[in-house]
Amino acid sequence: MTLVLGIESSCDDTAAAVIRRRADGSCEILSNVVWSEVEAHRPYGGVVPEIAARAHVERIDLMIAQAIEKSGHTYQDLNAIAATGGPGLIGGVMVGLTAGKAAALAHGLPLIPVNHLEGHALSVRMTEHAPFPYLLLLISGGHTQLIWVEGLGSYRRLGTTIDDAAGEAFDKTAKLLGLGQPGGPMVEKAAAGGRADRFDFPAPLARREGCDFSLSGLKTAVRLAAEAIPEPTAADIADLAASFQAALANHLAARTERAIASVETAAGPSPRLVVAGGVAANSAIRARLTDLTQSRGWSLIVPPSKYCTDNGAMIAWAGAERFAAGLAPATGEAMAFAPRARWPLAEPPQGREHGGGKKGPKA
């Protein structure tokens, strides 16, 4: 069995967890603590990198101590420490990775720098039966990607956003409509009382080949529709939110269907679509993807919501999977690892590069 402490600080959540990977490959989550900075960023309508980094410095030691205490273990029981090495807001990544290095040195433990995207890609295996291979739709505040997960460390990116990520589009739409933050839950709440068919927003990239996403045009369409209403009522706002949410869900499903078609042969007799990232909690998107997978004869697997958003357990799990497979780096290599703002999980096809990092709010 492998006992690992995981540390996550790539955006606006300071998180730590201790998990046990059993010999049969199953997972036991012994602790999982998260400090959210939502209130600190709410006045700005998005995550401010400098505020996030400062909050991580103030909270990281406390989160790690709580994770160790709640697990019922001590550092002497651990096999390794895993910390997010990127991608993300560089200030936050530096804080968590430095804390991981210090703890590893102090207690003589191996350090495993983890790609944040790999944490999301493997998180479903903590709680669900999800053998390799599977198709991953990663939809979060900083990432919107389709990845074919062939095995541990073997990933092929099929598509990514060429502009905004899904979570970023939700945040900006919420700010535009005056709904507050966090954007995803606020838009979903407003949309519950609206008509999704009132505004006919365009389908992004409808004539474009491949599986890439684009959300900036949809965001602009919402702005233009809102500006065309002199004094929007609550019903207008609800209709705008519902129409935006439906258009986004349809876009995600359309590009995912293309990815499904491209890997159908390799998927085998029990094809699986895994959805991870904070946006995976959106009920309208889940419903649209459920319809898609049922029509294609695929299974849809979504981790519990608390493991879709950024958390320490997924980083600990990714580290444990690598440790168990003998893929942990040598001590010198791990200690020399530099935090990365950008760290693609898989190389893009034909050398294309989009996304892969997290951004703060734009003026």
User: pLDDT tens digits for 83-93?
Assistant: 999 999 999 99
In percent, how much of the chain has pLDDT > 90? 85
Mean pLDDT confidence for 309-325: 96
Least confident window among 113-117, 190-194, 333-337, 348-352: 348-352
User: In angstroms, rounded to a whole number, what is the distance separating the alpha carbons of residues 66 and 111?
Assistant: 19
Tokens of 281: 């909690």
Instruction: Break the chain into its structural domains and give their ranges.
Output: 2-124+307-351, 133-302
Residue pointed to by tokens 């590069």 = 353
Burial 16-39 (b: 16+ CB within 10 A, else e): bbbbbbeeeeebebbbbbbbebee
Task: Write down the pLDDT at residue 27.
Answer: 97
User: In angstroms, rounded to a whole number, what is the distance separating the alpha carbons of residues 190 and 184?
Assistant: 10
Homologous superfamily of 133-302: ATPase, nucleotide binding domain (3.30.420.40)
Task: Write down the pLDDT at residue 361.
Answer: 37
User: pLDDT tens digits for 119-144?
Assistant: 999 999 999 999 999 999 999 888 99
User: In angstroms, rounded to a whole number, what is the distance separating the alpha carbons of residues 89 and 49?
Assistant: 6
Q: Which of these, 186, 211, 142, 205, lies nearest to 282 by C-alpha position?
A: 186
Task: Write down the pLDDT at residue 354.
Answer: 41
E-assigned strand segments in the chain: 2-8, 13-21, 27-36, 80-86, 111-115, 134-139, 144-151, 154-160, 272-276, 299-301
Tokens of 215: 């959300």
Homologous superfamily of 2-124+307-351: ATPase, nucleotide binding domain (3.30.420.40)
Least confident window among 209-223, 299-313, 334-348: 334-348
Is 133-302 in the same CATH topology as 2-124+307-351? yes
Residue 351 scores a pLDDT above 70: no
User: pLDDT tens digits for 286-301?
Assistant: 999 999 999 999 999 9
